[in-house]
């Protein structure tokens, strides 16, 4: 590699690492408990449990369940009605107005068959929600989310540039070599390099899916504008609905229209998911992969007629698949444990990168070391 090229990669790696590492420490530290959010909720009693369903009992009427939830929060309107994947439970999300932001929403969990209201904390309260907000938007909304997305993109660039710089190092030493008999800095550097390159594929996956997830709101808005735009034109001059047809009937129509899928949630008009004149009954599959992909069935809220079944664009499918992959939520507890181990290793790589940067020499000295192949800049966060 030419010296000018080596220096360019070196500077890219150095400054992308330097800018993003502190934020990555926050993201990986908060991401660790979020991997086990469901398990923590179950262990602490924060996750409600429903009694088994008696044989032959029919589901409760969705409209009656919604009315029960609204009685808990008088004056609010329904926003979402959805199904829990871990038992015969449904949730009703309410707010003061259709465009209520998530931190101001309320939720009620009910037994899907008996209609009993189950004790459960609100989804936007508690320690885990605090950690979630730190991880996703540092409590400043979309601007914070997009900023963290930019930091994850810098992380990806740092990984790629680190791999490029690691290549000369591999030509001089056997893989896994730890030179513990020399300086402490050199031993830290070897361990940092080794752990960085071992986790490089996983770090790229987590970094890229994290960046994609930060674009969720803009992508959803784009889909709503493009895919629902034509439908909206038909209702452009129509007044807002004065009466709402049965949600239960809308769900039944969606089940009949997509018999090989099951409902995931229903969005109400004005929430941004189904326009101003429709229920959006979002259906999903039954396998670990297809259950992440939703297909909307739009039902007119006044007439109760099925209006459209628009297909999700590719970018929305990528978004929906990347969200669970980011937290290892595809293969149950074993995959989550692997994700947690790799998360801890990456935290060590980041911290050791800070240590190595604190003990750095001059840029010229580091370049000479790189050219000699004696030491190397490391992937995934090494900072000199």
Measured in degrees and rounded to the nearest 5, phi and psi for residue 221 equal -65, -40
Question: Could you tell me which residue, 136 or 42, shows the higher pLDDT?
Answer: 136
Q: Is pLDDT of 284 > 80?
A: yes
pLDDT at 169: 62
Question: Could you tell me which residue, 54 or 111, shows the higher pLDDT?
Answer: 111
pLDDT at 222: 83
| 155 and 209 belong to one structural domain | yes
Tell me if 378 is assigned to some domain: no
Task: Give residue 22's domain range.
Answer: 3-38+136-213+333-372
Mean pLDDT (whole number) for 100-117: 92
| 14 and 157 belong to one structural domain | yes
Tell me if 242 is assigned to some domain: yes
Among residues 88, 120, 152, the one where a domain terminates is 120
Mean pLDDT (whole number) for 62-66: 97
| 276 and 143 belong to one structural domain | no
Query: pTM to 2 decimals?
Result: 0.79
Q: Which candidate, 203, 195, 191, places its Cα nearest to that of 375?
A: 191
| 32 and 148 belong to one structural domain | yes
Mean pLDDT (whole number) for 116-140: 88
Q: Is pLDDT of 383 > 50?
A: no
Tell me if 327 is assigned to some domain: no
Among residues 309, 344, 364, the one where a domain terminates is 309
Tell me if 126 is assigned to some domain: no
pLDDT at 185: 75
Tell me if 79 is assigned to some domain: yes
How does pLDDT run across 303-318, given as a tens digit for each residue?
Answer: 999 998 988 888 888 8
Burial of 326 (0-12, 13-18, 19+ CB in 10 A): buried
Mean pLDDT (whole number) for 11-36: 92
pLDDT band per the 50, 70, 90 thresholds, residue 19: very high
pLDDT at 103: 86
| 87 and 32 belong to one structural domain | no
Task: Please give the structure tokens belonging to residue 130.
Answer: 């605090």
For 332-368, give one letter per residue: b (16+ CB within 10 A) or e.
eeeebeebbebbebbbebbebbbebbeeeeeeeebbe
Tell me if 383 is assigned to some domain: no
Mean pLDDT (whole number) for 274-286: 90
| 338 and 272 belong to one structural domain | no
What are the beta bridge partners of residue 80?
93, 267
Mean pLDDT (whole number) for 278-285: 93
pLDDT band per the 50, 70, 90 thresholds, residue 232: low
Question: Could you tell me which residue, 97 or 175, shows the higher pLDDT?
Answer: 97
**Among 39-43, 193-197, 359-363, the least confident range:** 359-363
Tell me if 237 is assigned to some domain: yes
| 24 and 69 belong to one structural domain | no
Q: Is pLDDT of 264 > 60?
A: yes
Structural domain count of the chain: 3
Q: What does the alpha-carbon distance between residue 39 and residue 45 come to, in Å, rounded to a whole number?
A: 10
How far, in Å, are 92, 220, 234, 245 from residue 300 at the CA level?
20, 21, 12, 8
pLDDT at 265: 96
| 242 and 303 belong to one structural domain | yes
Tell me if 319 is assigned to some domain: no
Measured in degrees and rounded to the nearest 5, phi and psi for residue 90 equal -130, 160
Task: Please give the structure tokens belonging to residue 344.
Answer: 């801890």
| 169 and 193 belong to one structural domain | yes
| 290 and 247 belong to one structural domain | yes
Task: Please give the structure tokens belonging to residue 166.
Answer: 């690691």
pLDDT at 164: 85
| 22 and 162 belong to one structural domain | yes
Q: Is pLDDT of 376 > 60?
A: no
Q: What does the alpha-carbon distance between residue 312 and residue 52 come to, in Å, rounded to a whole number?
A: 35
Q: Is pLDDT of 253 > 80?
A: yes
| 141 and 109 belong to one structural domain | no
Mean pLDDT (whole number) for 135-161: 94
């Amino acid at each position: 590699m030419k010296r000018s090229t080596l220096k360019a990669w070196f500077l890219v790696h150095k400054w992308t690492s330097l800018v993003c590492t502190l934020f990555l420490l926050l993201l990986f530290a908060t991401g660790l408990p979020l991997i086990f959010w469901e398990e923590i909720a179950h262990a602490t009693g924060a996750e409600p449990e429903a009694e088994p369903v008696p044989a032959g009992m029919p589901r409760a009427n969705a409209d009656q369940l919604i009315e029960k939830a609204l009685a808990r929060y008088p004056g609010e309107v329904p926003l979402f009605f959805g199904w829990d994947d871990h038992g015969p439970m449904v949730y009703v999300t309410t707010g003061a107005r259709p465009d209520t932001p998530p931190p101001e929403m309320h939720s009620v969990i009910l037994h899907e068959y008996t209609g009993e209201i189950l004790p459960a904390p609100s989804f936007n309260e508690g320690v885990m929600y605090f950690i979630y907000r730190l991880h996703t938007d540092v409590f400043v909304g979309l601007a914070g989310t997009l900023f963290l997305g930019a930091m994850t993109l810098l992380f990806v660039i740092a990984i790629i540039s680190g791999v490029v710089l690691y290549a000369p190092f591999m030509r001089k030493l056997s893989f896994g070599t730890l030179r513990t008999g020399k300086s402490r800095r050199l031993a830290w550097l070897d361990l940092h390099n080794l752990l960085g390159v071992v986790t490089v594929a996983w770090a790229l996956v987590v970094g890229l899916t994290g960046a994609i997830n930060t674009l969720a709101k803009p992508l959803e808005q784009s889909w709503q504008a493009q895919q629902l735009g034509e439908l909206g034109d038909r209702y452009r001059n129509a007044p807002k609905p004065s009466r709402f047809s049965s949600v239960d009937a809308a769900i039944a129509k969606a089940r009949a229209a997509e018999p090989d899928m099951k409902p995931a949630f229903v969005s109400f008009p004005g929430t941004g998911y189904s326009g101003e004149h429709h229920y959006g009954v979002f259906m999903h599959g039954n396998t670990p992969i297809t259950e992440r992909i939703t297909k909307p069935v739009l039902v007119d809220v006044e007439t109760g007629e099925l209006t459209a079944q628009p297909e999700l664009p590719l970018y929305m499918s990528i978004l929906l698949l990347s969200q669970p992959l980011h937290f290892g939520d595809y293969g149950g507890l074993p995959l989550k444990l692997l994700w947690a181990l790799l998360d801890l290793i990456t935290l060590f790589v980041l911290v050791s990168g800070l240590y190595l940067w604190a003990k750095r020499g001059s840029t010229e000295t580091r370049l000479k070391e790189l050219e000699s192949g004696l030491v190397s800049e490391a992937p995934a966060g090494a900072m000199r």
